[in-house]
Structure 1
Amino acid sequence: MDVMLGRAPELGRLVSYRGPERRRGSPDRWWRHALEAIDLGVCLLGGDGVLLYANSTARQQLNEHAPLQILDGQLLAPQLNDQTRLDNALADVQRGLRHLICLGRGAARLSLSVLPLQDGHGRQAQALLVLGKRNLCGELPMLAFAREHQLTAAEQQVLQSLCAGLQPQEIAQRHGVAISTVRTQIASVRAKTATESIRDLVAMVAQLPPMQGVLRVMELR
């Protein structure tokens, strides 16, 4: 899927965001804390393509090995064709258009959406960049899901394997158990989660809200 985002930056270091939310109790400051608590990469760009804010998940995803990187306070795609998509996306964002783009190839492939934001006077001021999930379900949401539905450790392991795309026979071989055991565990998970098929079960897990596995303590000044 191809649609666009960004602006050609120069090499350098990440510029940390120093916005007006440094005032104690400011709603903007609390929104920054909220974005740090979810396992979903989020960036805020100015109308000129300058990076205003990137949460910790985004900074982890946009590293030196990623098809999109944060350098000198801007977004840089190492590959020229990806950079072109980035440039076109930001240009379209200025016209109020939304886009979804996919950058890179193989395991490093990154999908992201680019959403236009407007100021209080209806003028295009910024763009919201939301990165695709790194995996179907993070460790913490999976653990919370297992606890909510009272899954055993073995059932949780089987569920994680299903979400990783493994077939029951592959799960049995990997864990050194009989296929009948895996099928019994899958049936138990489906009963506890009130799902009618493996597809419904995996879809249910895919819809879990992202949660950070590490509590990040931030200064509230």
Structure 2
Amino acid sequence: MDSQHLLRVFDEIDYGMLIIDAQGHILHANHLARHELANGRVIMSYGNNLLGSNAGFTSQIQQAMESSFRGQRRLLMLVEGEKELSLAFTPLSHPLETDAPSVLVLMSRQSTSDNLAVRMFARSLNLSPSEESVLMGLCRGLQIADIAEQHGVAESTVRSQIKTLREKAGAPSIRRLLHRINSLPPVVPALRIITPMPHNATEFSHP
């Protein structure tokens, strides 16, 4: 597989992915990572370096990167109010190896409701639009009362729709249905919801 095909594969992975060199420069960012960097919610790119959206996040990121370049794996949970993102730092080379050191940074997986496979699953079961909407509500963790209020229907209607959902999916319970949903392959939406950026991460930065 050539490098261009490999980069396209990275873009279809349901996790943001960054590759960072020993100078802290971003060598590659897949689509979800570029989206996260562009919105600046928790992390950002400045001068092509990975930073946090505040000084505390930046300090934690720099410490994790330093540990990774020493061959240690690190997991960060960056949380501030409603903003939350986990980052796993994995060394791609051993400190004693001769190749140029680099670190892989994996970000939190998208929420289940953002996984395109859930929509595909709904269509494979021939769910009605209202049934699909109820399914998405369950995936977001909403209670039956919340879904009913959101749709402007009685709770009994939502319970009936959930019963139909379970029957179509062959799931004996809501828990089993959601387990099946969580086991679906991670399919990234045709996310190009931000201006497409070149694969070469050095060509973008955000102040």
**TM-score computed with the length of structure 2 as normaliser:** 0.81
C-alpha separation in 1, matches of 2:16 and 2:24? 17
Matched, 1:47 2:22: yes
Contact 2:51 2:57 in 1 (8 A): no
Matching residue within 149, 153, 158 for 2:134: 158
Which one is further off, 210-219 or 26-35? 210-219
Matched, 1:77 2:42: no
Give the structure 2 partner of residue 115 of structure 1.
90
Letter of the 2:38 counterpart: N
Question: For residues 4-23 of structure 1, what are the alpha-carbon distances to aligned partners after superposition, in whole Å with 9 as ceiling and x for unaligned?
Answer: xxxxxxxxxxxxxxxxxxxx
Matched, 1:31 2:6: yes
Letter of the 2:4 counterpart: R
C-alpha separation in 1, matches of 2:118 and 2:14? 13
* Higher normalized strand content (fraction of residues): 2
Classify 1:74/1:158 alpha carbon distance in 2 versus 1 (closer, same or farther; 3 Å): same
Matched, 1:143 2:122: no
Offset at 1:66? 1.6
Matching residue within 159, 173, 188 for 1:212: 188
Classify 1:91/1:170 alpha carbon distance in 2 versus 1 (closer, same or farther; 3 Å): same
Letter of the 1:183 counterpart: R
CA-based RMSD: 2.5
Give the structure 1 partner of residue 166 of structure 2.
190
1:60-75 to 2 correspondences below 5 Å = 60-75=35-50
Unaligned ranges ≥5, structure 1:
1-25
Contact 1:36 1:57 in 2 (8 A): yes
Unaligned ranges ≥5, structure 2:
199-207
Classify 1:106/1:205 alpha carbon distance in 2 versus 1 (closer, same or farther; 3 Å): farther
C-alpha separation in 1, matches of 2:177 and 2:125? 12
Contact 2:125 2:168 in 1 (8 A): yes
Give the structure 2 partner of residue 56 of structure 1.
31
Question: Which SS does the other structure have where 2:45 is aligned?
Answer: strand
Give the structure 2 partner of residue 172 of structure 1.
148
Give the structure 1 partner of residue 175 of structure 2.
199
Offset at 1:78? 3.2
